């Protein structure tokens, strides 16, 4: 580990144009020293060539990894294993860092050794160029710790935080999940009881666009639902490790999320996942809440009609209700 060095890890798959902009935003940082680790995750277009050009143009600061396609989590892990910095920055290839991000956040972590992560405001740019004036998601609010609020939502985006590398090492490797892998990773970090330092200014820009994005796809695609089910199971494990109370607002909302996902998995034909998530939802709800009529009725109907048929009926009913 090199003291003071910020290692920026950028996985990329078939996104050469936006990658150049993401890399430029790191090189434009007012802070030094920095290193960039670009992981070409099995790209099939001209991205590998662009990656090599970027490495050749800045050989002192950019290191390259070419590998077969593994997905975003394992690509980030390959970069983390190669990183030498005291601090870790994850950056998606379609997002940008604002120039003073490292300067502000490294200073914050040095001034507050009790904190393991620094974050600031996220700026959101729509596909048509419009920029939201307010901080995106929950990044405009000062929060002391990641849990329990991260159980309700991941209220920052991948480039928003700056982590101590020692904390990332303690949290362990990224999973091979292709969806919600970032939420699972941050909940694992949250389970360590990490404290946050807040920089009250915009530090990153995330951008919507029409290019390929993993967050888009068929809502009830079985492969996607299987990934989401696994991520939610792991997140519940992290919440339990952090001893979040069952009666807390955050755990109760996550229990409802598990129930909803159980129905969606059923509708997608994933019987085992649907049944497992239903059981986990009851556990997360607490002993008294698990005895409620909704749990009893849904479990009874599933035993008669099957988890797939009931899931389809439940999701159809939700759609009709939302349209009214």
Instruction: Give the CATH number for residue 178.
Output: 3.90.550.10
Residues 199 and 226 in one domain: no
Q: Which residues have CB under 8 Å from 27's CB, separation 6+?
A: 34, 36, 58, 61
Position 91 pLDDT exceeds 90: yes
Residues 152 and 24 in one domain: yes
Answer yes or no: are the C-beta atoms of 183 and 116 closer than 8 Å: no
Residues 189 and 251 in one domain: no
Q: Among residues 207, 242, 257, which one ends one of the domains? A: 207
Residues 196 and 242 in one domain: no
Does any domain span residue 93?
yes
Does any domain span residue 82?
yes
Residues 132 and 234 in one domain: no
Does any domain span residue 212?
no
Inter-CA distances, 141 with 16, 105, 125, 241, Å: 34, 16, 19, 25
Residues 256 and 195 in one domain: no
- What's the whole-number average pLDDT of the chain? 94
Does any domain span residue 74?
yes
For 64-77, write each residue's pLDDT tens digit. 999 999 999 999 99
Q: Which domain covers residue 51, as residue numbers?
A: 2-207
Spell out the alpha helix ranges (H) of 87-216.
Answer: 101-111, 165-171, 181-190
Report the b/e string of 177-188 with b at 16+ CB within 10 A.
bbbbbbbbbbbb
Distance between CA atoms of residues 255 and 275, nearest Å: 14
Q: Pairing mode, if any, of strands 62-67 and 85-90?
A: unpaired
Residues 55 and 92 in one domain: yes
Residue 66, φ and ψ in degrees, nearest 5: -105, 130
Does any domain span residue 214?
no
Q: Among residues 207, 230, 252, which one ends one of the domains? A: 207
- Which runs of E-coded beta strand occur in 112-252? 115-125, 162-164, 195-207
Residues 143 and 232 in one domain: no
Does any domain span residue 318?
yes
Does any domain span residue 144?
yes
What is the rounded average pLDDT of the residues 12-33? Answer: 96
Residues 234 and 319 in one domain: yes
More confident residue, 318 or 196: 196
The answer to whether the predicted template modeling score (pTM) of the entire model surpasses 0.75 is yes
Distance between CA atoms of residues 65 and 82, nearest Å: 9
Q: What is the DSSP letter of 94?
A: T
pLDDT given at position 212? 53
Residues 134 and 202 in one domain: yes
**Total tally of structural domains belonging to the chain:** 2
Does any domain span residue 176?
yes
pLDDT given at position 301? 95
Residues 247 and 177 in one domain: no
């Amino acid at each position: 580990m090199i003291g003071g060095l910020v290692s920026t890890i950028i996985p990329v798959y078939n996104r050469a144009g936006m990658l150049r902009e993401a890399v430029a935003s790191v090189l434009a940082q007012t802070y030094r020293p920095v290193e960039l680790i670009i992981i070409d995750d099995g790209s099939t277009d001209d991205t590998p060539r662009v990656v090599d050009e970027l490495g050749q143009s800045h050989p002192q600061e950019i290191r390259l990894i070419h590998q077969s396609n593994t997905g975003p989590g394992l690509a980030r892990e390959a970069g983390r294993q190669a990183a030498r910095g005291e601090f870790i920055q994850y950056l998606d290839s379609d997002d940008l860092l604002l120039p003073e991000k490292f300067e502000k956040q490294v200073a914050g972590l040095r001034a507050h050794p009790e904190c393991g992560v620094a974050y600031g405001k996220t700026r959101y740019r729509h596909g048509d160029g419009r920029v939201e004036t307010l901080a995106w998601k929950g990044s405009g609010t000062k929060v002391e710790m990641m849990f329990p609020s991260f159980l309700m939502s991941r209220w920052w985006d991948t480039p928003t935080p700056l982590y101590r590398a020692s904390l990332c090492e303690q949290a362990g490797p990224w999973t091979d999940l292709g969806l919600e892998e970032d939420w699972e990773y941050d909940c694992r970090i949250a389970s360590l009881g990490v404290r946050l330092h807040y920089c009250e200014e915009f530090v990153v820009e995330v951008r919507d666009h029409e290019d390929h994005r993993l967050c888009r796809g068929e809502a009830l695609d079985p492969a996607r639902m299987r990934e989401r089910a696994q991520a939610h199971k792991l997140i519940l494990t992290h919440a339990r490790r952090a001893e979040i109370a069952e009666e807390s607002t955050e755990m109760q909302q996550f229990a409802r999320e598990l129930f909803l996902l159980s129905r969606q998995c059923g509708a997608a034909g994933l019987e085992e996942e649907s049944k497992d998530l239903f059981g986990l939802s009851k556990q997360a709800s607490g002993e008294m809440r698990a005895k409620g009529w909704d749990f009893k009725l849904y479990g009874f109907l599933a035993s008669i009609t099957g988890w797939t048929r009931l899931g389809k009926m439940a999701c159809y009913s939700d759609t009709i209700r939302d349209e009214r």
